[in-house]
Each structure stands twice: as C-alpha cells, then as structure tokens.
Amino acid sequence: MITVDALTKTYGGFTAVDDISFTARSGRVTGFLGPNGAGKSTTMRIMVGLTPATSGSASISGRAFADLPNPGLEVGVLLDASAQHAGRTGREILTIAQRTMGLPRRRVDEMLERVSLTPSEADRRVRNYSLGMRQRLGIAAALIGDPEVLILDEPANGLDPAGIRWMRDLLRDFARDGGTVLLSSHLLHEIEVIADDIVVIGNGRIVAHGTKSELLAASGALVRAADPAALARALEVAGATSTPYDGGALRTDAEPALVGRVALNAGVPLLELRAADGAGLEEMFLELTADTQREGAAA
Amino acid sequence: MTATLAVEQQRVRRTRTTTPKRIPTTRIVAVEMRKMFDTRSGFWLMAGIGILATLATGAVILFAPDSELTYETFATAIGFPMAVILPMVGILSVTSEWTQRTGLSTFTMVPHRGRVIGAKAIVALVVAVTSMLLAAGIGAIGNVVGTAITGTDLVWNVSVAELAGIILGNTLGMAVGFMLGVLIRNSPGAIVAYFVYSLLLPTITTLLAQSQDWFADRQAWLDFNYAQGPLFEGSVNGEQWAQLGVTAFFWLVLPLAFGLVAIRRSEVK
C-alpha cells in the first residue's frame, strides 16, 4: 500500500505538486493520470526519496522510503527507462540490481525471461536498445526483488500494441496476487484499460479520484436527434442541462431513460441514444489539457 | 472454487514472513567496484593505468641515456600519467551517476546517498593505491629489463618512504578529483575544474609568489598544490606535514563536506 499525505513541492514561486493526498491500495492497479507537466513524475520521485518534499509525506506499507532496509525487496521502481548507462549491457544492469539487493544469481536470467528479452539482446549494450526494450529491462529491474509494490512512471511509453497488452496482463496478475501497482500515464485510454482506481492530477492538484467504475459511471447520456435545438429546449424544461457534443450530438446529465421519455413527449425523433460511458472523464481530461496544449486554442 | 483457492494462496505468498535486512556496506562497496569496470569506457580507463605505465616504462628504456637508467627515472616517468588518469577515475566514479542518470536506480536501491558516496570513496582509494603499486611494479620490471639490455648497473635509488610519499601524493590527486566530482556532479564540468585546479591555479600562485612577498612567505600554508611538493621530493618534515594538513583541510576536506551536504539535499532527476 502507498499512502500520500498532503504532499507539496514548490520550486521558488512555482508549485509543482499542491497538497496531494491519495492511497494506492494493495490488490489493485492505481492509475495516476494527468497531462504532461501535471506533477506526476515529481510526485513519484518524492515517493522514492529522489526529490525532497517541501511539506507532507509519502509512505510505502506504512514506512518512509528511506527507512526501508533494502527497498528493492519491497518496492519495484521504474521512473525513466532511459536513465541507464548507455555502455552497460542489459544483463549487467540487472546484475547490479541483483548484487545490490543480495539476490541469488539465477534471478537475472529469470527476469530476462519474464520480460521476454533474449540472451543475445541481454548481452547488447543499452545504447542499442529501442525504448520498448528499455522499458522491458526497466520492468525486469523493478520486479527482480519480488516486491509487493510497483511504482512505474509511464511504463507503456515506447511499447508496441502487443507490448502494451503484455504489460497490462503482467500488472493485472501482479495486483491479483495481492500486490500494489501505481502507474502513471498521460493517456486516458491506457489508464482506462489497466487501472482499477484512478487518480487524476492537473496543475499539481488532484482533480478527480475514485474507482474506475465510479469515474466512468454512466453519468448522463449521449443523444443524437434530427432537431438538436428542439431536444435541448425540451431537456431544459425537464430540468436537465445539455451541451453540444461532437458533431450535432448532445451530452446531457439526464439518464437515457429520461431522455427517451422527454424526446417522446416533445415529439423529437431520435437518431441515437446511449449512456455516456466515460465521456465525463474524457471531457474533464480534455479541459485539463486544454491549457497546456496548443491545439486547444484552435478548437 | 479451485481458482479462488489459487488466488488466495498467491495472496499469502506476497505476505513476507521475514523483514529484509539492511544492505551491508561491504555489498555496496563491491557493487561500486564492479561499476568501475563494467562499461567499455570504465574498463579502458582502468586498463589505461596499466597500459600507460608500461608505455612510460618502455619510453624510458628506449630514450633515456644509459647513465640515467635508474629506478627514480622510471618512477618519475610512470608518475606523470598516473597523476592525470587517477583523478579522472575519481571524477567519473561520482559524476556518471548524474551525467549518465544511473543515480535514479542507484539512489532508489540504496536510499542513503552518503552511504553510496562513501562506498565510492573507498573504491577510489583502493583503486588509487593498487594502481600506484602496480605502476611501481611495472617500473621495477622496467628497471631490471632496461639495465639488463644496456648492461649498466641496477640502481634502486627510491626508498620505501619516498615511494610511499609518491603514492600518497597521487592518492591526494585522486581525492581532489573525487571532491570536484561530488561538488560539481557533471563529468565535463568536473574535468575542466580539475585542470583549472591542478594546472591553472599553480601557475597563478607561482606568479603571485614572485610578485608578492607576503604571499611567498605564507605560500606553503595557503597553497595545497605547493604543500604537496615535498611528497614528491622524498622527505617531508614536521612543519611540511602540518602545512599539508592545513591546506588539505581548506582545499579538499571543506569543499568535499560542502558537496556531500549538497548531494544529500539535491534532487536526482
């Protein structure tokens, strides 16, 4: 279990992480979602003691990271797969981890096999690795101590679709076995397919937090009508708000059943009506990223 | 039913029965020693110590006049490449954690930066002394072989005390490199700083000593490079030891302490 309590990090006048609190529970995959520069990586670096917090604290299974006697046996960490000496071989990097943690030598080969790096790939220098291979090596280094907790920053970056599927299964199995997984991503879809719990962060603050089913719950409906304006008026009379959505459709906070009844009473023919699964989260996420993305200005 | 049982068993597997033990310092030292050799650049830097010592020995045999084929000539010739390469080893052992960004892994596996830097210091010290002994041995072989070729007398004109002084002097040179690595934490920056420290600074102090009497009188108490001179000249008296200690404190120990405090507080990215 990972507990983050009122964590704040400021750089001069800039607040990178602003009073963040959340818990990543064991047996679950917690997705840490936010646009680039939202404070995800800073938060993760603070968790593992690489960056000092300005205030607040983070603990792993109830203890500060620096108090873990042999952290690799309790927490697997992958913050940046490219942060390795380019002149070392993949096997050597795992051997350093194996030696530092005091593990039997066979763990190196076991881990290489677990992440599907062949012996000849393992003997190549990391300089010649693709980003996907570096991610696999990083996962191997994180898993080598058989930890109970995984902290992974953007682990799916650079993986091909098959690799992403492999990673998803691996992390799911890890959580099913009772482990705690915290992984970050700036891609909503990536988090959606893998996480049980989601923490959304924007500009250093938590903007949403809950289980995936809560956050993606059918909050309202998406409806397409021949006369959207008439339907919008009818919905307003019925006490529901609606906003135009993606090419003539409406997004409303009313449930599909209510929308159907309102449309029938108003005599507006419907072209499409469905529950707005995840649309709320997606909209919130787009809003968050709009400030930082140049495309937002044109849209 | 069996599936549920399997899941339950796996959950039990994750509950550790024993708490892990603290990583022993000997293991950190052993890993840091391994990291000195396990890259191509690191390996050749270390191999370079032996290669340069052999080349310097060969050059003495080829080019030195027969009358000067003494152990002192060999020791001097070998000392020069050592004085350059050992500080580089000291610098890179620290700075590569930042420049190559391996610190991200190193300092999460051992979340006590002081312990890691301490282990690196031990490794640097072992490498310095071993390299100097190796170089002294290669020089001795050169002396035996060289005089046998020319048929001149074998002259051992370097005492054990003198040799110890040279080893200490070169170890201090490496310590300076190590200190600059800790202070600057960037490979090119620390290497440039080392050459300023070891080449430019002595030039300035020499000029200063020539023009300013007050400085010339106190130079041995102020100038670390100058105070190291006696180590290479064979005999060090009590006052010179004191001068070495005082200057080393201000030019080596103090900046090293400052760098260590900064490293412990800094952010590893």
For the stretch B80-114, pLDDT in tens is 889 999 999 999 999 999 999 999 999 999 999 99
**pLDDT for position A189:** 85
pTM to 2 decimal places? 0.86
**Which residues of chain B are within 8 Å of residue A85 when distances are taken between CB atoms?**
39, 96, 100, 102
For the stretch A43-65, pLDDT in tens is 999 999 999 999 999 999 899 99
CA angle B141, B146, B149 (to 5 degrees): 130
Residue A41 φ then ψ, to 5° = -65, -40
User: Which one, of B149, B119, B49, lies nearest residue B89 by Cα?
Assistant: B49
Sorted by where each starts, the structural domains of chain A and their CATH numbers stand as 2-215 (3.40.50.300), 221-276 (3.30.70)
Residues of A with CB under 8 A from a CB of B: 27, 45, 48-52, 65-66, 68-74, 77, 79-80, 82-88, 92-93, 95-97, 99-102, 125, 141, 148, 176-179
**pLDDT for position A109:** 97
Q: Nearest-CA residue of chain B relative to A125? A: B39
Q: Mean pLDDT over residues B11-39, rounded?
A: 83
| pLDDT > 90? residue B261 | yes
Does B9 reach chain A within 8 Å, measured CB to CB? no
Q: How far apart are CA B206 and CA B219, in angstroms?
A: 9
**Which residues of chain B are within 8 Å of residue A88 when distances are taken between CB atoms?**
38-39
Query: Residue-wise pLDDT tens for chain A (299 aa)?
Result: 999 999 999 999 999 999 999 999 999 999 999 988 899 999 999 999 999 999 999 999 899 999 999 999 999 999 999 999 999 999 999 999 999 999 999 999 999 999 999 999 999 999 999 999 999 999 999 999 999 999 999 999 889 999 999 999 999 999 999 999 999 999 888 888 899 999 999 889 998 889 988 887 656 788 888 888 888 899 888 888 888 877 778 888 888 888 899 999 989 899 988 887 666 677 777 777 676 555 444 33
Q: How far apart are CA B114 and CA A233, in angstroms?
A: 68
For the stretch B133-180, pLDDT in tens is 999 999 999 999 999 998 888 989 888 888 999 999 999 999 999 999
**pLDDT for position B9:** 46
End-to-end CA distance of chain A: 41
**pLDDT for position A293:** 55
Does B29 reach chain A within 8 Å, measured CB to CB? no
Q: How far apart are CA A209 and CA B85, in angstroms?
A: 55
**Which residues of chain A are within 8 Å of residue B14 when distances are taken between CB atoms?**
148, 177-179
State whether B27 and A100 contact (CB < 8 Å): yes
| pLDDT > 90? residue B34 | yes
Q: How far apart are CA A137 and CA A35, in angstroms?
A: 25
**Which residues of chain A are within 8 Å of residue B109 when distances are taken between CB atoms?**
71-72, 97, 100-101
Q: How far apart are CA B233 and CA A192, in angstroms?
A: 72
State whether B267 and A77 contact (CB < 8 Å): no
**pLDDT for position B5:** 46
Q: How far apart are CA A270 and CA A279, in angstroms?
A: 20
Least CB-CB distance to B23: which of A84, A88, A102? A102
